[in-house]
Amino acid sequence: MTALAIVVLASPALAENGNPMRGQKDFQACAPCHSLEPDRNMTGPSLGNIWGRKAGSLQSFERYSDALRSSGIIWDDRSLDAWLADPQQMVPGNEMPFQGIKDAGVRADLLAFLKEATKSGAPARTAKNQMNGMGGTMGGMMGGGGERNLKDLTPNAQVKAITYCHDTYRVTTVDGKTRAFWERNLRLKTDSSKAGPRSGAPALVPAGMMGDRADVIFAAPEEISRTIEARC
């Protein structure tokens, strides 16, 4: 069945039928992967100004699947409802790891919120107030650091040096303290966005719930090999 046929047959949980206040709470499940700020991409593309946009066309997002790029879908109430109901049925082969929302009322609420929050001229929803508007609950879901601005770091969060010996990384921060991490518990990441760290000043960000895991986030990939020294 074509994507167009699926949109036509989908139960229309249209935005005007939903409650945006309830939808804002529902958006908590989407916020770890999608920003409401135009062109602020995360795991998934920004949802800013999504109504009327062709699927797979946001120029600032480079990770669309070929299936979504070639789908020909234009995002509106009906196509977004069908997508939220079952992304894989609508566009087989897309790479969104989401099983869909079967409750038409929940979809209508979410669409009502998104339509208000992403329309042109809506109050700017930055990463910070996007989380604050949800009662600050997203911080824990995102490992404590996914939305922080990493340009200005406290000494205990700015990495000075990293050594690697056998199965252990030792991370020294600017405050002079060194922490040891099992190699599978330290993740090396990059963030080239405006919220990412300054060049040459990687960020140490706690991850997980036990305090034994962390992310080191660099401004660019080439900084990783320059920073880590193999030394016992």
Domain boundaries along the sequence of the chain: 3-141, 159-230
Q: What is the pLDDT of residue 12?
A: 59
pTM: 0.66
Which has the minimum average pLDDT: 105-119, 143-157, 187-201? Answer: 143-157
Q: What is the pLDDT of residue 11?
A: 52
CA distance 74 to 181: 46
User: What is the DSSP code string of 126-173?
Assistant: -HHHHHHTTTTTHHHHTTTTTT---SS--TTTBEEEEEEETTEEEEEE
**More confident: 52 or 96:** 52
* Residue 106, helix vs strand vs coil: helix
Residue 87 scores a pLDDT above 90: yes
Q: What is the pLDDT of residue 135?
A: 45
Residue 131 scores a pLDDT above 70: no
Q: What is the pLDDT of residue 77?
A: 95
Q: What is the pLDDT of residue 140?
A: 35
Residue 144 scores a pLDDT above 90: no
Which strands sit side by side in the sheet containing 168-173, from one edge to the other?
A: 178-182, 168-173, 159-165, 228-230
Residue 112 scores a pLDDT above 60: yes
Mean pLDDT of all residues belonging to the chain: 85
pLDDT band at 134 (very low <50, low <70, confident <90, very high): very low
Q: What is the pLDDT of residue 130?
A: 54
Residue 13 scores a pLDDT above 70: no
In this structure, the dihedral spanned by the alpha carbons of residues 71, 76, 77 and 78, taken in order and rounded to 10 degrees, is -30
Q: Domain spanning 3-141: which superfamily? A: Cytochrome c-like domain (1.10.760.10)
Give the pLDDT confidence of 18-72 residue by residue, as tens digits.
Answer: 999 999 999 999 998 899 999 888 889 999 999 999 999 999 998 899 999 999 9
Give the pair of three-digit tokens for residue 139: 């911080």
Residue 83 scores a pLDDT above 70: yes
Across the range 6-17, mean pLDDT stands at 59
pLDDT band at 123 (very low <50, low <70, confident <90, very high): low
Residue 137 scores a pLDDT above 90: no
Across the range 204-227, mean pLDDT stands at 91
Across the range 154-182, mean pLDDT stands at 95
Which has the minimum average pLDDT: 51-65, 76-90, 118-132, 134-148? Answer: 134-148
